[in-house]
Amino acid sequence: MKKRPKAKILVVDDEETVGLGISEILKDEGFEAAYVIDGFRAVEEIKRKDYDIVFMDIVMPGMNGLETFREIKKIRPGAKVILFTGYFKDAVDAISEGVREGMIDEFIRKPYFADEIIRSARKYSNE
């Protein structure tokens, strides 16, 4: 029986330590994971490669998580996007807007735990 390949995952966060940390957690679990530092780079990366799941910060300079989400969904409508933030107070309006528009597949609040990241990745990769 041939084993199904693990999901391709893109991590988007303006805090490099967070983005690299999440991508390493996912790689350790056998996922193919890449990291970019902002929404603009995320959109370019999504055009370049067919990612299944995107873990993305909501509060980022330039293009925020919801704006980036909208662009990603135009390019890869089937991609699942899991949004997270450590600035919950600053993100309340964006989260509400995302829920209203049906855009948030899942939301994780920082500080996150490795098992939350792994559980979400497995859930959306149909493992």
pLDDT tens profile 93-119: 666 666 666 655 566 666 667 888 898
Q: Would 1 be classed as within a structural domain? A: no
Residue type, 116: E
DSSP class of residue 14? S
The least confident of 22-26, 28-32, 108-112, 115-119 is 108-112
Q: What is the mean pLDDT of residues 41-60?
A: 93
Q: Answer yes or no: are the C-beta atoms of 29 and 56 closer than 8 Å.
A: no
pLDDT of 51: 95
- Looking at the DSSP assignment, which residues form a beta bridge with residue 80? 53
Q: Which two tokens stand for residue 103?
A: 């855009």
**Domain coverage including residue 61:** 8-122
- Looking at the DSSP assignment, which residues form a beta bridge with residue 84? 57, 108
Q: ∠ CA 100-101-104 to the nearest 5 degrees?
A: 90
Q: Would 3 be classed as within a structural domain? A: no
Q: Would 26 be classed as within a structural domain? A: yes
Q: Would 98 be classed as within a structural domain? A: yes
* Nearest CA-CA partner of 57 in 21, 32, 27: 21
pLDDT of 92: 64
Q: Would 2 be classed as within a structural domain? A: no
Q: Would 51 be classed as within a structural domain? A: yes
Query: Is pLDDT above 80 for 78?
Result: yes
Overall number of domains in the chain: 1
What pTM was estimated for this model as a whole?
0.83
Q: Would 20 be classed as within a structural domain? A: yes
CATH number at residue 72: 3.40.50.2300
Q: Would 45 be classed as within a structural domain? A: yes
Q: What are phi and psi of 79, to 5 degrees?
A: -65, 140
Per mean pLDDT, which of 14-18, 56-60, 88-92 is the most reliable? Answer: 14-18
